[in-house]
Structure 1
Amino acid sequence: MKFLILFSVVVGLVAQAFGLGYHEDVGIPEAARIRQAETRQMSSRIIGGMPANYKDNPYLAGLIITLVSNQMSICSGTLVSQKKVLTAAQCWSDGYQQGRKIEVVLGETQLFYSYRREVTGISVHPGYTSKPLSNDLAMLTLRYAVNNYNYMSPVTLPFESDVNNTFAGIGAKVSGFGKTSDWSQVGPKTDQQSVIVPVIDSWYECYYGLPQRPAYNTDKILCTSGANGFGTCGGDLGGPLVAPEYFNGTDVLIGVTSIQSNMGCQNGFSTGYMRVTAYLSWIKRNL
């Protein structure tokens, strides 16, 4: 009986994880929600997080995506050089909806009522597949380089010596433009959100806390715990997971938000990230 119950739960989790794709399930409704929120000077963001001063995450990028269907969707991303933004490939094509145009917002707390930067090139990882999800990375090229300011500057990438570092057990910081709870209503402000989450040191714990489990390459995935309902949610896809003040007081990018459960953001499920150290060569070639 226990096996049958567990099997049913697993099948349900996997089935719900695919849904209708990121944009239909999350990005499009969240874009509409945030646009309405900003119109009313309201918002919704990261689960369990606190409003972040934009100077705390100068590398955080908000992505406004116009789909081929002419619907609007949103994602998050990370400024990794003056002209490059790293994000999840799902943000461009999730297997159901295809992007037509992406605009980037940097150094702002709002998305739809802020200055948008034009993207002139999109390089999707050559090994990317949406089903099964694999190599979920894309690099965006901005038309104009970003000048460094204290509120807008590239994140620090890991060193080659960090390739075998699992970062297990550290308190990592995740930030984004997603919502703050499964049932959150629009709130009083439109702020970025950040929260500290523990990097899981047990692959078993990570693996069985994620949807679509059989497809994952464990060497390329990093997980954080969803305990206490803290973690990422709708709109945070593609955003940064950093080791805070890891090198000379600066944040170091260790993950790109990729794998989120469709069974709710506050149910304790793990969040999966593309492990940056596993893709360091590809990232550097595309800077």
Structure 2
Amino acid sequence: ENRCSVDYFECCSFTDLCGEDVDCLIQVSLVPPSASQSSSPETTSSSSETNSSSEATITPPSIAYKPVPPTIREPPALSEPIPCGRRNFDGVGVRLAGSAEIQQAQYGEFPWMVALLREDTIGRSQPIDVYVCGAVLISPHLVATAAHCVNDYAKGLFFNLKARLGEWDALADSEPYHQQDFRVKSIVIHPEFRPRLVLNDIAILVLEHPVQFSSFVSPICLPSEAENEQYSRIEKCVVTGWGRDSFYGRMQNVLKLIEIPTVPKSTCEEKLRDTRLGPRFKLHPSFICAGGNGIDACKGDGGSPLVCPSLHTGSDVQSIRYVLTGLVAWGIGCAGIPPGVYVNVPYFMPWLAPFLKEYDPGYDYFGHS
């Protein structure tokens, strides 16, 4: 037997990775629920283990998101253009006391955060929005996420995705301003993405219409390829998402944040070799590491952004900008001793750049000014 099953998820043919503390979410392919399925999660797999297409498939627990109300409260007009990477430390329109202690983001604090949703109509009289993955706004037309989140959608198995911006409380309409939904027009998976090994785990989503920036919706800045090494040694980076608070925990309704350091490749490899990955494990250059020692992203955070303070701006709250350094990819359990593994965004800048120039020419996505 060369597969393992963990918390509803059947995964990988890597025997070294099979064990109760392994997060297998990244090793599966999503399938749409059928009308005959029960509401509980169900795992299915192909009968042929030798067929290259016989990957395990799952139906994840459905998290229904509230629909955008028909009456939109418009945010105030902008007096000046919104720069990329500007974090609203005090929130937008309202500030919640005590949020930092429970690692809860302020409303609008991370305006680049995207909830990727699937409109589910199967067996329902009214469609509902089901959470798929986290993602991040990188320009007016483009959203980045992990390829493992959208690989099956790109194949056309079902293509009813939308990007929600301005989301904060997923289960209640408690925000000062309503969210904005944008249909995904096309998905571009990195041509060298390898689902079994999760290598080159990055995808671009092209939105049907450009995003209009506001005080609570704006893009993250992007790094240059040359800054790859520098961003692997930053002390105070931030991961955001609606994922679980522990391996067997519940999905979060309010956006959470975790402050973590990035980890140099050599240190990360050393720590991961002490796990079931074994002493010969080598970290592929398409990955970067962060966290460890009890702090990390978790299930449901896939595709969510890891952002770090820009190397080109000041450190005070008014001038600091954040740069997209990683996307949540995989890890050994949740919040364990080994670091979490993220998509290495600086490594992919040569691949990303042509899309940025095609869809949003002239846009300052570096934010150096």
TM-score by length of 2: 0.61
Deviates more, 1:207-216 or 1:146-155: 207-216
- How far is 1:129 from its partner? 1.3
- The superposition leaves residues 163-219 of structure 1 with CA deviations (integer Å, 9 ceiling, x where unpaired) of 4424225221111121222343577xx311111112112133353377767786532
- Aligned with 1:142 (options 207, 210, 217): 207
* Structure 2 residue 181 is the aligned partner of structure 1 residue 116: yes
* Structure ranking higher in strand proportion: 1
- How far is 1:235 from its partner? 1.6
Question: What residue identity is the alignment partner of 1:133?
Answer: V
- Aligned with 1:29 (options 52, 60, 63): 60
Is the contact made by 2:134 and 2:302 (CA closer than 8 Å) also made in structure 1?
yes
* Structure ranking higher in helix proportion: 1
Is the contact made by 2:104 and 2:254 (CA closer than 8 Å) also made in structure 1?
yes
Higher relative contact order (CA 8 A, sep 6+): 1
- How far is 1:99 from its partner? 4.8
Identical aligned pairs, as a percentage?
A: 22
2:134 — aligned with what? Answer: 76
1:242 — aligned with what? Answer: 307
Question: What residue identity is the alignment partner of 1:165?
Answer: Q
Distance 1:272 1:196 in 2: 15
User: Once superposed, what is the RMSD of the aligned Cα atoms?
Assistant: 3.7
- How far is 1:23 from its partner? 3.9
* Structure 2 residue 255 is the aligned partner of structure 1 residue 197: no
- Aligned with 1:219 (options 270, 280, 285): 285
1:58 — aligned with what? Answer: 111
- How far is 1:93 from its partner? 2.2
- Aligned with 2:343 (options 274, 277, 285): 274
Distance 1:180 1:102 in 2: 25
Instruction: Pick closer, same or farther for the CA change 1:269–1:84 going to 2, 3 Å.
Output: same
Name the count of aligned residue pairs.
Answer: 263
Please, which runs of 5 or more residues in structure 1 have no aligned partner? 1-8, 37-47
Question: What residue identity is the alignment partner of 1:55?
Answer: G
Is the contact made by 2:136 and 2:143 (CA closer than 8 Å) also made in structure 1?
yes
Instruction: Pick closer, same or farther for the CA change 1:268–1:109 going to 2, 3 Å.
Output: same
Q: What SS is found at the alignment partner of 1:54?
A: coil
Q: What SS is found at the alignment partner of 1:52?
A: coil
1:43 — aligned with what? Answer: none
- Aligned with 2:198 (options 133, 140, 145): 133
Is the contact made by 2:273 and 2:281 (CA closer than 8 Å) also made in structure 1?
no
Distance 1:286 1:209 in 2: 39
Q: What SS is found at the alignment partner of 2:60?
A: helix
- How far is 1:285 from its partner? 1.5
- How far is 1:269 from its partner? 3.8
